[in-house]
């Protein structure tokens, strides 16, 4: 049986983070996908905290991950609400349509 170490956990977490970031930056079409990538990033952080807490026998990290989950849920609720309104106004959820800030 494979012996799982802290390094494994951190590597997985880094991979998840990178995946989330790459999805956010490279994705050019869908706002929902960005929100999902955002969740992925938060997940990576949570995994990081949980893993570290486990291996260091410190519950503080695990408790912190609950906060992150709560905040992520709230953030997603707001994010989806914004997306819904955006769709109502523009009839699309393409990211390129959200360019009012263009200088």
1 versus 99: smaller Cβ distance to another protein: 99
3-state secondary structure of 12: helix
Is 93 a binder of another protein (CB under 8 A)?
no
Rounded CA-CA distance 70/7 in Å is 27
Q: What residues between 11 and 40 interact with another protein by CB under 8 A?
A: 21, 24-28, 31, 34
CB neighbours (10 Å) of residue 90? 11
CB 27 within 8 A of CB 37: yes
Stretch that binds another protein, among 49-57, 61-69, 81-89, 92-100 (CB under 8 A): 92-100
Residue with Cβ nearer another protein (31 or 72):
31
Residue 25 Cβ vs another protein, minimum distance, rounded to whole Å:
5
**With contact defined as beta carbons under 8 Å apart, do 32 and 84 qualify?**
no
**Secondary structure of residue 47 in the 3-state scheme:** helix
Q: Give contact residues for another protein (rule: CB under 8 A).
A: 21, 24-28, 31, 34, 95-96, 98-103
């Amino acid at each position: 049986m494979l012996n799982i170490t802290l390094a494994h956990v951190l590597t997985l977490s880094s991979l998840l983070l990178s995946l989330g970031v790459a999805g956010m930056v490279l994705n050019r079409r869908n706002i929902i996908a960005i929100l999902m990538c955002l969740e992925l990033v938060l997940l990576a952080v949570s995994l990081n905290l949980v893993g570290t807490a486990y291996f260091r026998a410190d519950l503080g990290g695990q408790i912190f991950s609950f906060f992150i989950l709560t905040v992520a849920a709230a953030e997603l609720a707001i994010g989806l609400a914004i997306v819904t309104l955006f769709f109502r106004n523009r009839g699309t959820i393409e990211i390129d349509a959200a360019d009012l800030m263009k200088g």
